[in-house]
Structure formats: structure tokens, C-alpha cells
Amino acid sequence: MSNKTIMQEKPWKKFQLIYNSVITEHTDSLSRIKVIEDYVDIVDNAVRYVMSKEDVAIYPAKSYIVAIIYATMLNKIYGVDFYDALDDGDLFLGQDRYFVPYSSDTIHYDLILKRLESIPGWIDSGWCPQTVRYFHAECTQSGLNQAIRNFYDTGVAVDN
């Protein structure tokens, strides 16, 4: 499938490509934040991302929950099937070395999703609103326009 076909079928990919070619400094860059790798408590750490705003990023849990947020937003805005979005190996354009598609780890994803069912309004808690703002900046025309304006005005594309 050609890039043109992908862009027609998945318009958010076009916005992602533009965003990531223009905006190269990110407030959540791994070089700017404390990172912990924990492959044991993935589910609990993903839920912590929703429940609080800690000054540390725990991977790969952060990648799982961010993928769930992006899949949720792709479904909401573009009508993309949630699980198709979550299974897109190129969801983050290869920029997240910890990301695995849904089909590669259904067990952890399903456990996280089950836990989220018991948290009303989870997408409005913890770090989720920040991630939703990144999604809009990266994956929508209006968000991309605003991110570029912010970046050129202040040097920051998305406020914390």
C-alpha cells in the first residue's frame, strides 16, 4: 500500500508525520524525565498513570496506557475500530521502543482494559488529559495547527 493510500485511509497518519517532522522537542522526551523499566507490574503501573501524576515514567506500562488512550481517541474522532487502532504496529510511527501492538500482548492489554472499566472517567484522570492533548496535537488538523503555532511562539508544542 502506498503512502498516499495510507494517508487517504488514515488521515491522522498525515498529521502525525507532519507533527513529528516539525516538532522534535517533546516535554515528555525520555531524556527529560526519570524513566524506570518494570516488566513485572505492567498492569498496576498502567493504572497508576491514570490515577496520579507522578514525576516518573514507568515503561513499558506507559506505552500500554498511551496506546489505549490513542486507540480510544481514534475511535472517538475518526470512528476507527478500537482494537484495530490498538493493533496498529505503526500507531506511534515507530517512535516508542516500548510499544507492542495488541495482538502481541493481549493478556496485559485485556487486564488493563478490565481495570479501566472500574474507573469512571479514567480518561480525565492522572496523566491522561495530557496524553489526550498530545493526541489532538499530533493526530488532528486543528491540534496540529495549534501545536505548530504554540511551538513557533513559545518553543513548546503542547503545554503540560
Q: What is the pLDDT along the chain (160 residues), one digit of tens a residue?
A: 444 444 557 889 998 988 888 776 655 555 556 889 999 999 999 999 999 888 888 999 999 999 999 999 999 999 999 999 999 999 999 889 999 999 999 999 999 999 999 999 999 999 999 999 999 989 998 888 887 787 777 766 665 4
> Does some domain include residue 159?
no
> Does some domain include residue 115?
yes
| DSSP letter string, the chain | --HHHHHHH-HHHHHHHHHHHH----TT-TTTSEEEE-SS-HHHHHHHHHH---SEEEETHHHHHHHHHHHHHHHHHH---HHHHHT-TTTTTT--TT---GGG-HHHHHHHHHHHHTSTTGGGSTTHHHHHHHHHHHHSHHHHHHHHHHHHHHS-SS--
> Does some domain include residue 78?
yes
> Does some domain include residue 160?
no
> Does some domain include residue 119?
yes
Domain span at 74: 3-154
CB atoms within 10 A of CB 120: 8
| HSE of 138, CA atoms in CB hemisphere, 13 A | 22
> Does some domain include residue 12?
yes
Domain count, the chain: 1
> Does some domain include residue 7?
yes
> Does some domain include residue 142?
yes
pTM for the model:
0.87
Hey, what's the cell of 65?
496506557
Bridge-partner residues for 57, per DSSP?
A: 35
